[in-house]
């Protein structure tokens, strides 16, 4: 069974450094200074991040991670989603993302946003995210990327909740068989 629960930067860091951002030149911090829509805000490095992990309880191995933190403009950034290739296609990233979306909602943020990779854009679109910038391929190490956002408290958000997360607990354990 694969179970989702909260975790911390120390547990997520090796997955980010060895898989999601393997070979990354810039340092990997618990948060990131990129602003929604472009530019930098160093104050974002002081934001309070949340981390979630998906663990296969047979091996106790972490097979998926995600993080999120509140940003300027009353947004909530979704960052660093990664699922081990062997465990992909089971809905694990959907459930990890649901934790971040729900956190953004309960914290009263207006929208959840991310800096998406081109090859992952479809994943976010299925969750109701829309592209909000042109493709960016300078000053990014894993581009092209674009900004994408999902407005919370909107009709679209309600549809996303019903379609993807209907009748599922956001706070309880969720499990997947592999």
Binding residues for ligand COA, per CB under 6 A?
A: 20, 81-83, 88-94, 116-117, 119-120, 122-123, 126
Instruction: Quote the least distance from Cβ 32 to ligand COA, whole Å.
Output: 12
Q: Closer to ligand COA by CB, 38 or 108: give it.
A: 38
Distance CA 41, CA 34 (A): 6
Q: Closer to ligand COA by CB, 120 or 131: give it.
A: 120
Instruction: Quote the least distance from Cβ 70 to ligand COA, whole Å.
Output: 19
Instruction: Quote the least distance from Cβ 83 to ligand COA, whole Å.
Output: 4
Distance CA 69, CA 121 (A): 20
Instruction: Quote the least distance from Cβ 79 to ligand COA, whole Å.
Output: 8
Residue with tokens 């090796």: 14
Distance CA 2, CA 167 (A): 19
Instruction: Quote the least distance from Cβ 126 to ligand COA, whole Å.
Output: 5
C-beta of residue 74 within 8 angstroms of C-beta of residue 55: no
Contacting residues for 89 by C-beta, under 8 A, at least 6 apart: none
Q: Closer to ligand COA by CB, 1 or 108: give it.
A: 1
Q: Closer to ligand COA by CB, 93 or 152: give it.
A: 93
Phi, then psi, of 140 in degrees rounded to 5: -125, 140
Question: 38 by DSSP, 3-state: which?
Answer: coil
Q: Closer to ligand COA by CB, 70 or 121: give it.
A: 121
Radius of gyration of the chain (CA): 15
């Amino acid at each position: 069974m694969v179970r989702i629960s909260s975790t911390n930067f120390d547990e997520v860091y090796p997955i980010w450094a060895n898989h999601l951002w393997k070979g990354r030149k810039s340092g990997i911090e618990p948060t990131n200074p990129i602003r929604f829509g472009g530019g930098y805000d160093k104050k974002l490095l002081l934001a309070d991040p949340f981390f979630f992990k998906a663990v296969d309880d047979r091996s106790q191995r972490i097979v998926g991670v995600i993080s999120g933190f509140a940003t300027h403009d009353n947004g909530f950034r979704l960052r660093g989603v990664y699922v081990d290739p062997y465990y992909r296609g089971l809905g694990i990233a959907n459930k990890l993302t649901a934790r971040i979306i729900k956190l953004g909602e309960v914290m009263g943020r207006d929208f959840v946003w991310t800096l998406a990779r081109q090859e992952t854009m479809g994943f976010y679109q299925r969750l109701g995210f829309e592209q909000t910038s042109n493709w960016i391929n300078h000053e990014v190490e894993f581009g092209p990327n674009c900004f994408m956002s999902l407005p919370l408290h909107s009709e679209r958000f309600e549809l996303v909740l019903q379609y993807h997360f209907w009748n599922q607990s956001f706070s309880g354990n969720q499990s997947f068989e592999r």
